[in-house]
Amino acid sequence: MKRRFLLGFLFIGFLCSQLVAANGFLQSDSLDSVLRATKNPKDKVDAILKFLEKPENQYIEDTIATELANRAYVVAQQTNYVRGKVNAMIKLGNCYFRSSDYKKAMEYAQQAKEIAEDLNYDKELANSYTLIGIIYSELGAFDNSSPYYFKGLKLFEKLSDKEGIARSLGNIGLDFYDQKVYKKALEYLNNSLAIALSINNQSLIKKQYNNIAAVYADKQNYGTALAFMRKALKIEKKLGDKMGQGISIMNIGYIQMNEGNYKEAFLSFQQSLEFATEINNHLHIAKCLLNFGYCYYCVKNTGRSINYFNKALLEGRENGYYRIIAQSANMLNQIYTEKQDTLKAYKYIVLEKLAGDSLFAFQEQKLSSKLELQYLYEKKELKKQLAQQAKNTLMLIIIFGLVAGLFILGLVFSRHRLKLKLVLLEKEKIKSELNIRDRELTVNLISLIKKNEILADISGKLMQLEHKAKGIEAKESLSQISQELRNSTDDKMLNEFSKRFQEVHAGFYEKLLKTYPDLSPNELKLCAFLRLNMSTKDIAELTGQQIASIDTARYRLRKKLELAGSETNLVTFLTQI
């Protein structure tokens, strides 16, 4: 047993391998009746697990509990009932832990933990953490047990599961107790007790009364320890927990013996032995017999002391309880040494040594289990860390790639924006240059108009001279000069305008003719004048036509450009070509 002498009695119901006989269980057939009536396999799994969780079934023999938990596990696995499978694995882990098979217990606990983590089963995960913590605690690996207890506590708090919180606090308190940090142990155990009282969980209340009593007994504060034991005993009587009553009464007797109240101690041990005999718990019987031996030794009744130590020794040898054998043989050796019976004293020295060797072997096995689990734990944690590092590295690569991609995308976008800006600037520049050329062209046109006006004035004056001339020959000469001057001026002006317009608006005529091939040369020139935003008056002065004629020409042009009846401005339309 891992606990100290007193606490060992308190936790017999959980840790010992030979518990309540299965007779009562098998005769009741309560579970079998439920399973026969249940058709749904998932409900069968839940029924088995619920049965094993009941407080009155916590002392079922390990082999039967393991068989039932395994049955639930197989059915859950066959029907793909994952949550039931996880809970069955946790129950199997508890069963193997009770039978001291820590490796198997840890395997089931770890598997349940991994599935619960993957599927976000918070309650099952919390129970897995708790089981792992209990296993490490039993092996004395408190550096590993405490983190798991606190992980479980955090999840139970998240779920607002008061029972789970109370159990976690109790486990943490026991960890502190094992390390003899009594102040912290009492703090956590009292907090656990307060929650158990608030939810009126009698089984949990009883457990924490016993745990608190163990702490005070370890501190040799027997009065307080006894008060808590009596409180636990009262609940055990109410629950009909015979195993618990037997343990509590035996512990009360042990304190009475330590305080010198031998008469009361005898009565307590006798009552405890009756409970142990009734439920056929051989380890409990052996401990009662051993305590009778101690008590009779204390009152110097050597004969009866030897008798009870021999009975305890016999129980120990028949059931393989090496600690009972070692303690009984040690006391018998001490008694016969005091009697100076060397031969019998030597006999019990040999028995004590053999039992001690077996205990040592068991402790060595336990230490090996601890080291193995520690190795597996560290190996798993290292693997987990390496996997996390690989994951982190991958994440960094992805993040770096994203950042680099965003940076490159930003550069491309910036370059595109810059290019677009340059294109816009180029367009603005071209537009600006085009506007300048348009203005130059307009200025040239105005200049041509002025020249045309001057030439027209000269031509008019020549015509006046023609009327005043006397001879026919002189009149004809003046008329010819006037006509040639007008024709050459008009052609020269229009040719120069067309040349300059084509330089500024290259392709304008081609685009118009491509879409509107019926346009005449005069209409093309009119389009050019309008493209320069020239007024009807300016066009008339430039071409020497009447304003009405230009208006008529504009109307015909709108029809050819399919703008008749439309509100589209003719100048705007031509500007966009």
Question: Residue 132's domain is classified under what CATH number?
Answer: 1.25.40.10
How would you class 136 by CB atoms within 10 Å of its CB: exposed for 0-12, middle for 13-18, buried for 19 or more? buried
- Establish if 434 belongs to a structural domain: no
DSSP H helices in 469-561: 472-504, 508-515, 521-531, 536-543, 547-560
User: What is the tens place of the pLDDT at every residue in 47-85?
Assistant: 999 998 887 777 677 788 899 999 999 999 999 999 999
Tell me which of 108, 142, 160 is where a domain ends: 160
Determine the average pLDDT of the residues in 343-350: 89
- Establish if 260 belongs to a structural domain: no
pLDDT of residue 473: 67
What does the DSSP 8-state code read for residue 562?
T
Tell me which of 125, 160, 195 is where a domain ends: 160
Distances (CA, A) of 211 to 101, 169, 295, 457: 24, 12, 24, 131
More confident residue, 467 or 1: 467
Phi, psi of 226 (to 5 degrees): -65, -40
Dist CA 14 CA 291 (whole Å)? 21
More confident residue, 513 or 141: 513
Containing structural domain, residue 564: 507-577
Dist CA 39 CA 42 (whole Å)? 9
Give pTM, 2 decimals: 0.61
pLDDT of residue 5: 35
pLDDT of residue 23: 37
Helix, strand, or coil (residue 220): coil
pLDDT of residue 122: 96
Length of the chain: 577
User: What is the tens place of the pLDDT at every residue in 25-35?
Assistant: 433 457 777 88
pLDDT of residue 448: 67
More confident residue, 448 or 290: 290
Tell me which of 92, 126, 160 is where a domain ends: 160
Strands (E), 321-398: none
Question: In this model, does residue 352 exceed pLDDT 60?
Answer: yes
Helix, strand, or coil (residue 224): helix
Distances (CA, A) of 187 to 169, 208, 215, 345: 9, 12, 11, 47
pLDDT of residue 105: 92
- Establish if 567 belongs to a structural domain: yes
State how many domains the chain has: 2
- Establish if 103 belongs to a structural domain: yes
pLDDT of residue 332: 94
pLDDT of residue 435: 67
- Establish if 87 belongs to a structural domain: yes
Determine the average pLDDT of the residues in 174-187: 94
- Establish if 8 belongs to a structural domain: yes
User: What is the tens place of the pLDDT at every residue in 383-392?
Assistant: 777 878 888 8
Q: What is the CATH number of the domain that holds 519?
A: 1.10.10
- Establish if 334 belongs to a structural domain: no
- Establish if 418 belongs to a structural domain: no
Structure confidence at residue 263 as a pLDDT band (50, 70, 90): very high
